[in-house]
Structure 1
């Protein structure tokens, strides 16, 4: 009969089952030989001493006259007050002396009646051994020796006598095997879970360790790695396609603007030509932002690294503070600690920079950036005192090409991609971004990113 290979999960379960069964079988086989309450052979030194006693008794009663029971009586009375008791029976099992009903002796006589092969067995606190042949002038009788058992019962006997202890020992014996089996099953499952969590955070990397362990998990790990590679190739292909399209669209737009400039030079200024040039400029700016986004996102999931927030955003914040001063505005920021964060540095910098530059652009004269740690999450709150965004449009500002109907509209020259780019980058890093009314009167944007511990 063949069982699944040991590398298989079922094979390991079978191994634990058969190992446990082997322990039980060995225990059952060895138990009768180790349990003093079962019939077993006498140790050599005790056997020799008892045989010598039987010979001495034979010599003494052979030289005496009188009834057999009287001659044997003194041997039973002499040892009765000690931790040793002698019993004499006929070869038919009839007790000669001492008289009395001894159930243990009668039970032992039924299973041990051959002097050529003496046995012993424990009854309660007495160990009965025999029989030993004692020769008289007229007949042969059998001697049985009962000695008080001062040793405590063996450990396994105590366990078998108490169900609770038996259950406890069974649990102790089986627990290491079950723990090993649980580890063998859960270890590859944990590796698969960790790999799935990495993919959820945008780290599309194959993990060779997934293809180790039981056969079932090995196959699942290989399939998971193939899926990750397929997703990786699909994302890279889509991003490269977007980059190529954006790049190809810039050439005709450039030629269109050049043609518009030549027409204005020949025909002079006109509203129609100015409108064409304005829309072409906006379209070129939009394509430029798309091209920049695609360049940042091409293989961005392959450029993950762990850095601290201070080295990541310090220079960008200093540039933003300088830009705010040039626009006669104030940008304040609390102390930026060295919190560890994992992700694509370019995307993380661009995401926060878009929000801060929006606040500088639309705020009146005050912008505040606050960094804090909350339950292993980095919270970044950006406030400005501009006109803000209507409450019913707060969720829509992260949609691509969406513009609100107040000061943040088409006349400002925006394309509606800045916050969409930010939302996409934050989502790729398992973070969230929300907007609400700021205590300063303008817009408050809150970014939450997981810290890397």
Structure 2
């Protein structure tokens, strides 16, 4: 009969739990029965050897009519057996009284008296351990023309001392059984944790922007199979939603660019016929802004998907040196000063173009709104990079620090639409930093303007 396969998580837990409990109970109940200090039947090889000893004694003293010489000879008599252990021979009458000529009986005689009171069936000889002496008997024997019982004592070196300690202390016995069952329980914990670990790793990949299904999640117990299937369905749905969103934005941009192109052509024709005017210039300016806004919307959409496919380990110097050099040159062209710290010699796992675009947006934003000075500092704390970009411009009200990272958000200071831009630069930067498992925040700079601080995880140093 084939047992059904247990696929339920709870079924496995209960099955292994009860199996372990069964082993513990079985060990606790069964091990004491192996205690040699309890009477038990003599194993056949030893039983045959005892009978040979008894027959040899009867043969040796068959002519003796007095028991005293026999006892004197038995007490000084020894037998070397296969284990090379000296044997002790004892005689009792049929009533169980020990017959001896020794006036100072040792421990063996005391143990014999205890054994005789508990074992009195000559048809079923048994053995019992007393200290290091194993006493076996009774064996019917005829000496000096009378019937007696023969008991044989042998030095016993088994079982080991620690087993006797286990038999004497149930708590130690239980502890030993628990130690034996611990590997089974550890295996159970490992087997149950593997599906959960796979699910955790899959969730971490999704948190990093890697929307990939994992067939391994749909293996294991029924509960984890269902959870894995649901997780894969969720990832598929998210991929489909992002794909549709990107396609929608792409379609909208194409649809908007067509009338926008016609509008600019019409504006150019009107300017040629009617000459330059403030109204036509305003139309051209707004059309250019609308085109820039559409381009920024497409950029914001593109950074939200597929960035995880082009991740690679890059030294910070390859990302920041050129950016800082270009930014410093750009600041000098508008009469401003950009100060930067040294770039740390560390590695970062990133999408190079996406991360460069995000940092460039932040630095150029500071150059644009700063009055005279811009400061860029890079610091490493263990495996985290902190990038601080500060300017001495008008800044942002304290209650709007979190809002400036929202698309199209405008503040009521000098950072408005008249100063240029579509209000998407910081939103694109925030989205890119978040996809790299980093954080971005705004605060008031010590220079008087805006501080934008970016934190990014670095690769561990080997």
TM-score above 0.5: yes
> Residues 38 and 214 of structure 1: is their aligned pair in 2 closer, same or farther, counting only changes over 3 Å?
farther
Paired residue for 1:95? 97
Whole-Å separation in 2 of the counterparts to 1:368 and 1:313: 14
CA contact (8 A) 1:320 1:357 kept: yes
1:400 matched to 2:401? The reply is no
1:342 aligns with 2:349: yes
SS in 1 for 2:260: helix
Which whole-Å deviations, capped at 9, do the CAs of 1:180-226 have from their partners, x for residues lacking one?
Answer: 11111112211211110121121212234334444543443333223
Alignment of 1:177-192 (within 5 A): 177-192=184-199
Q: Who is 2:360 aligned against?
A: 353
Residue in structure 2 matched with residue 449 of structure 1 by the alignment: 456
- How far is 1:371 from its partner? 1.3
Q: Does the 8 A contact of 1:432 with 1:448 survive in 2?
A: yes
Which residue of structure 1 aligns with residue 54 of structure 2? 54
Does 2:111 align with 1:113?
A: no
1:197 lines up with 2:204 in the alignment: yes
| Deviation at residue 238 of structure 1 after TM alignment | 0.5
What secondary structure is seen at the aligned counterpart in 2 of 1:434? strand
Map of 1:366 onto structure 2: 373
Contact 2:392 2:450 in 1 (8 A): yes
Is the Cα–Cα contact under 8 Å of residues 293 and 421 in structure 1 kept in the other structure? yes
Alpha-carbon distance change, 62 to 311 in structure 1, aligned in 2, over 3 angstroms: same
Give the match's secondary structure for 1:142: strand
1:208/1:333 CA distance change after superposition, 3 Å: farther
Structure 2: distance between partners of 1:152 and 1:255? 102
TM-score scaled by structure 1?
0.85
Gaps of 5+ in 1: none
Query: How many residues are paired up?
Result: 447
Gaps of 5+ in 2: 79-84
- Equivalent position SS for 2:393: coil
Cα 1:45/1:125, change in 2 over 3 Å: closer
Q: Distance in 1 between matches of 2:338 and 2:210?
A: 34
Distance 1:241 1:313 in 2: 34
What CA distance in whole angstroms lies between the structure 2 residues aligned with 1:436 and 1:282?
Answer: 29
Partner of 1:221: 228
Deviation track 1:81-138 (CA, whole Å, cap 9, x = no partner) reads x9865433344x43251499957545556545336x6432113443211222322464
Cα distance change of structure 1 residues 83 and 438 upon mapping to structure 2, 3 Å threshold: same
Contact 1:42 1:118 in 2 (8 A): no
Any idea what SS the aligned residue of 1:311 has?
A: helix
- Which residue in 1 is equivalent to 2:238? 231
Alignment map for 1:118-129 (pairs within 5 Å)? 118-129=125-136
**SS of the residue aligned with 1:133?**
strand
> Does structure 1 residue 158 correspond to structure 2 residue 165?
yes
CA distance in structure 1 between the aligned counterparts of 2:235 and 2:278, rounded to whole angstroms: 53
Q: Is the 8 A contact 1:384 1:442 kept in 2?
A: yes
Q: Find the aligned partners of 1:279 and 1:265 in 2 and give their Cα distance.
A: 19
Per-residue CA deviation, residues 408-429 of structure 1 (Å, 9 max, x unaligned), is 2221122111111112222232
Task: Encode CA deviations 1:201-259: one digit per residue, 9 max, x unaligned.
Answer: 21212234334444543443333223212211211221221122122211111211222
- Aligned pair in 2 of structure 1 residues 277, 121: CA closer, same or farther (>3 Å)? same
CA RMSD of aligned residues (A): 3.4
Cα distance, 1:46 vs structure 2: 8.0
Structure 2 partner of 1:411: 418
Does the Cα contact within 8 Å between 1:211 and 1:218 map onto a contact in 2?
Answer: yes
Question: Which whole-Å deviations, capped at 9, do the CAs of 1:302-356 have from their partners, x for residues lacking one?
Answer: 4433433222333333222221222222222222234332343332111111110
Point out the more displaced range, 117-126 or 12-21: 12-21
- For residues 386-430 of structure 1, the C-alpha deviation after alignment (integer angstroms, 9 at most, x for no partner) is 222222332222122122222222211221111111122222323
2:16/2:188 contact within 8 Å kept: no
For 2:262 and 2:201, locate their aligned partners in 1 and report how far apart those are by CA, in whole Å. Answer: 51
| Secondary structure of the structure 2 residue equivalent to 1:349 | helix
Query: Residues 48-76 of structure 1: CA distance to partner in whole angstroms, max 9, x if unpaired?
Result: 3x44543454346543345x5x4555357
TM-score of the superposed pair, with normalisation by structure 2: 0.84
TM superposition shift of 1:289: 1.5
User: Residues 153 and 279 of structure 1: is their aligned pair in 2 closer, same or farther, counting only changes over 3 Å?
Assistant: closer
Residue-by-residue CA offset, 1:147-188 (whole Å, 9 max, x unaligned): 454666454332222234323322321111111111111122
Aligned to 1:174: 181
Counterparts of 1:231 and 1:265 in 2: how far apart (Å)? 50
